[in-house]
Amino acid sequence: MKEVVVENVMKEIRRSGDELVERIRLVHGKYWATRADLVKTILGLTSAIMVGTISFSGSLSGAGKEILTCPWILYISWFVFLISIGAGTVSLWHLYKLESLHAVFFNKTDGIEEKVLAIGTKGTEKELETEILKIVGNAIKEGISPATPSDKISHYSLFIQLCCFLIGLLSFMIFGVVQNV
Protein backbone atom coordinates (compact mmCIF):
# COMPACT_ATOMS: atom_id res chain seq x y z
CA MET A 1 0.00 0.00 0.00
CA LYS A 2 1.22 3.44 -0.92
CA GLU A 3 0.38 6.56 1.07
CA VAL A 4 0.57 10.25 0.14
CA VAL A 5 3.22 12.47 1.69
CA VAL A 6 1.09 15.61 1.56
CA GLU A 7 3.87 18.10 2.29
CA ASN A 8 5.99 16.87 -0.63
CA VAL A 9 3.03 16.76 -2.98
CA MET A 10 1.84 20.26 -2.07
CA LYS A 11 5.36 21.68 -2.43
CA GLU A 12 5.56 20.19 -5.93
CA ILE A 13 2.06 21.43 -6.83
CA ARG A 14 2.90 25.00 -5.74
CA ARG A 15 6.19 24.90 -7.67
CA SER A 16 4.44 23.61 -10.79
CA GLY A 17 1.70 26.24 -10.46
CA ASP A 18 4.30 29.00 -10.14
CA GLU A 19 6.13 27.73 -13.23
CA LEU A 20 2.91 27.55 -15.25
CA VAL A 21 1.86 31.09 -14.36
CA GLU A 22 5.36 32.38 -15.15
CA ARG A 23 5.25 30.70 -18.57
CA ILE A 24 1.87 32.31 -19.26
CA ARG A 25 3.23 35.71 -18.20
CA LEU A 26 6.34 35.22 -20.32
CA VAL A 27 4.26 34.53 -23.42
CA HIS A 28 1.38 36.98 -22.85
CA GLY A 29 2.59 39.49 -20.25
CA LYS A 30 4.08 42.09 -22.59
CA TYR A 31 1.04 41.89 -24.85
CA TRP A 32 -1.32 42.40 -21.89
CA ALA A 33 0.79 45.31 -20.58
CA THR A 34 0.79 46.99 -24.00
CA ARG A 35 -2.96 46.52 -24.26
CA ALA A 36 -3.44 48.04 -20.80
CA ASP A 37 -1.31 51.06 -21.75
CA LEU A 38 -3.31 51.61 -24.93
CA VAL A 39 -6.63 51.28 -23.10
CA LYS A 40 -5.51 53.79 -20.45
CA THR A 41 -4.29 56.25 -23.08
CA ILE A 42 -7.56 56.12 -25.00
CA LEU A 43 -9.51 56.41 -21.73
CA GLY A 44 -7.55 59.52 -20.80
CA LEU A 45 -8.00 61.14 -24.20
CA THR A 46 -11.69 60.31 -24.34
CA SER A 47 -12.31 61.61 -20.83
CA ALA A 48 -10.39 64.82 -21.52
CA ILE A 49 -12.29 65.47 -24.75
CA MET A 50 -15.63 64.83 -23.05
CA VAL A 51 -14.86 67.02 -20.05
CA GLY A 52 -13.51 69.76 -22.29
CA THR A 53 -16.44 69.76 -24.68
CA ILE A 54 -19.02 69.58 -21.90
CA SER A 55 -17.29 72.35 -19.94
CA PHE A 56 -17.09 74.65 -22.93
CA SER A 57 -20.32 73.59 -24.64
CA GLY A 58 -21.74 77.08 -24.12
CA SER A 59 -19.01 78.62 -26.25
CA LEU A 60 -19.19 76.04 -29.03
CA SER A 61 -21.73 78.01 -31.05
CA GLY A 62 -19.03 79.97 -32.87
CA ALA A 63 -18.53 83.67 -33.47
CA GLY A 64 -21.80 85.54 -33.95
CA LYS A 65 -23.99 82.46 -33.40
CA GLU A 66 -26.53 82.38 -30.61
CA ILE A 67 -27.61 78.75 -30.96
CA LEU A 68 -25.93 75.48 -31.78
CA THR A 69 -26.36 74.17 -35.30
CA CYS A 70 -27.13 70.43 -35.35
CA PRO A 71 -26.57 69.84 -31.62
CA TRP A 72 -27.53 66.20 -32.13
CA ILE A 73 -24.10 65.63 -33.72
CA LEU A 74 -22.49 66.80 -30.49
CA TYR A 75 -24.79 64.53 -28.46
CA ILE A 76 -23.89 61.59 -30.67
CA SER A 77 -20.19 62.24 -30.12
CA TRP A 78 -20.70 62.36 -26.35
CA PHE A 79 -22.73 59.15 -26.43
CA VAL A 80 -20.09 57.34 -28.50
CA PHE A 81 -17.36 58.65 -26.18
CA LEU A 82 -19.30 57.18 -23.23
CA ILE A 83 -19.44 53.82 -24.97
CA SER A 84 -15.67 54.09 -25.55
CA ILE A 85 -15.11 54.74 -21.84
CA GLY A 86 -17.33 51.78 -20.91
CA ALA A 87 -15.54 49.45 -23.33
CA GLY A 88 -12.16 50.58 -21.97
CA THR A 89 -13.30 49.89 -18.43
CA VAL A 90 -14.43 46.39 -19.42
CA SER A 91 -11.08 45.78 -21.10
CA LEU A 92 -9.16 46.88 -18.00
CA TRP A 93 -11.34 44.71 -15.75
CA HIS A 94 -10.54 41.62 -17.82
CA LEU A 95 -6.84 42.52 -17.94
CA TYR A 96 -6.97 42.67 -14.14
CA LYS A 97 -8.47 39.17 -14.12
CA LEU A 98 -5.65 37.97 -16.35
CA GLU A 99 -3.03 39.44 -14.03
CA SER A 100 -4.63 37.71 -11.03
CA LEU A 101 -4.24 34.16 -12.38
CA HIS A 102 -1.43 33.40 -9.94
CA ALA A 103 -3.52 34.51 -6.98
CA VAL A 104 -6.46 32.45 -8.20
CA PHE A 105 -4.31 29.33 -8.44
CA PHE A 106 -2.65 30.03 -5.09
CA ASN A 107 -6.07 30.40 -3.43
CA LYS A 108 -7.04 26.96 -4.73
CA THR A 109 -4.13 25.21 -3.01
CA ASP A 110 -6.05 24.71 0.25
CA GLY A 111 -8.78 22.89 -1.65
CA ILE A 112 -6.16 20.85 -3.48
CA GLU A 113 -4.54 19.90 -0.19
CA GLU A 114 -7.89 18.71 1.21
CA LYS A 115 -8.44 16.54 -1.86
CA VAL A 116 -4.88 15.13 -1.67
CA LEU A 117 -5.42 14.30 2.01
CA ALA A 118 -8.67 12.54 1.09
CA ILE A 119 -6.86 10.16 -1.28
CA GLY A 120 -5.70 7.98 1.55
CA THR A 121 -3.76 4.89 0.58
CA LYS A 122 -3.65 3.19 -2.80
CA GLY A 123 -2.47 -0.23 -3.90
CA THR A 124 0.31 0.98 -6.15
CA GLU A 125 2.38 4.06 -6.65
CA LYS A 126 0.90 4.43 -10.15
CA GLU A 127 -2.68 4.59 -8.73
CA LEU A 128 -1.54 7.20 -6.23
CA GLU A 129 0.15 9.27 -8.94
CA THR A 130 -2.93 9.05 -11.16
CA GLU A 131 -5.18 10.36 -8.38
CA ILE A 132 -2.84 13.24 -7.59
CA LEU A 133 -2.50 14.19 -11.26
CA LYS A 134 -6.28 14.16 -11.65
CA ILE A 135 -6.69 16.54 -8.69
CA VAL A 136 -3.93 18.86 -9.90
CA GLY A 137 -5.18 18.79 -13.49
CA ASN A 138 -8.69 19.81 -12.42
CA ALA A 139 -7.34 22.58 -10.19
CA ILE A 140 -5.18 23.97 -13.01
CA LYS A 141 -8.09 23.86 -15.44
CA GLU A 142 -10.30 25.72 -12.97
CA GLY A 143 -7.60 28.27 -12.18
CA ILE A 144 -6.53 28.95 -15.75
CA SER A 145 -9.87 28.57 -17.53
CA PRO A 146 -10.91 32.24 -17.10
CA ALA A 147 -7.80 33.33 -19.03
CA THR A 148 -9.03 32.61 -22.55
CA PRO A 149 -12.43 34.31 -22.25
CA SER A 150 -10.93 37.28 -20.38
CA ASP A 151 -8.22 37.68 -23.02
CA LYS A 152 -10.81 37.67 -25.81
CA ILE A 153 -13.19 40.03 -24.01
CA SER A 154 -10.36 42.43 -23.23
CA HIS A 155 -9.16 42.32 -26.85
CA TYR A 156 -12.60 42.97 -28.35
CA SER A 157 -13.39 45.64 -25.75
CA LEU A 158 -10.24 47.49 -26.78
CA PHE A 159 -11.32 47.24 -30.43
CA ILE A 160 -14.75 48.66 -29.54
CA GLN A 161 -13.11 51.38 -27.46
CA LEU A 162 -10.85 52.44 -30.32
CA CYS A 163 -13.66 52.40 -32.89
CA CYS A 164 -15.97 54.43 -30.65
CA PHE A 165 -13.19 56.90 -29.87
CA LEU A 166 -12.53 57.45 -33.57
CA ILE A 167 -16.25 57.73 -34.38
CA GLY A 168 -16.72 60.18 -31.50
CA LEU A 169 -13.74 62.22 -32.62
CA LEU A 170 -14.96 62.28 -36.21
CA SER A 171 -18.49 63.28 -35.21
CA PHE A 172 -17.11 66.02 -32.95
CA MET A 173 -15.00 67.34 -35.83
CA ILE A 174 -18.07 67.29 -38.10
CA PHE A 175 -19.93 69.22 -35.42
CA GLY A 176 -17.13 71.79 -35.35
CA VAL A 177 -17.23 72.23 -39.12
CA VAL A 178 -21.04 72.61 -39.10
CA GLN A 179 -20.79 75.28 -36.40
CA ASN A 180 -18.37 77.36 -38.42
CA VAL A 181 -20.13 77.14 -41.76
Please give the angle made by the CA atoms of 157, 93 and 96, to the nearest 5 degrees. Answer: 120
Q: Is residue 67 part of a domain?
A: no
Please tell me the distance from the alpha carbon of residue 90 to that of residue 98, in angstroms, as a whole number.
13
Q: Which residue range forms the structural domain that includes residue 109? A: 2-51+73-179
Q: Is residue 147 part of a domain?
A: yes
- Looking at residue 161, what is its pLDDT? 98
The number of folded domains in the chain is 1
Record the pTM: 0.79
Q: What is the pLDDT of residues 111-164, one digit of tens each?
A: 888 887 787 777 777 887 888 888 878 877 777 777 889 999 999 999 999 999
Q: What is the DSSP letter of 67?
A: S
Q: Is residue 63 part of a domain?
A: no
Q: Is residue 105 part of a domain?
A: yes
Exposure on the CB side of residue 136, measured as CA atoms within 13 A: 17
Q: Is residue 106 part of a domain?
A: yes
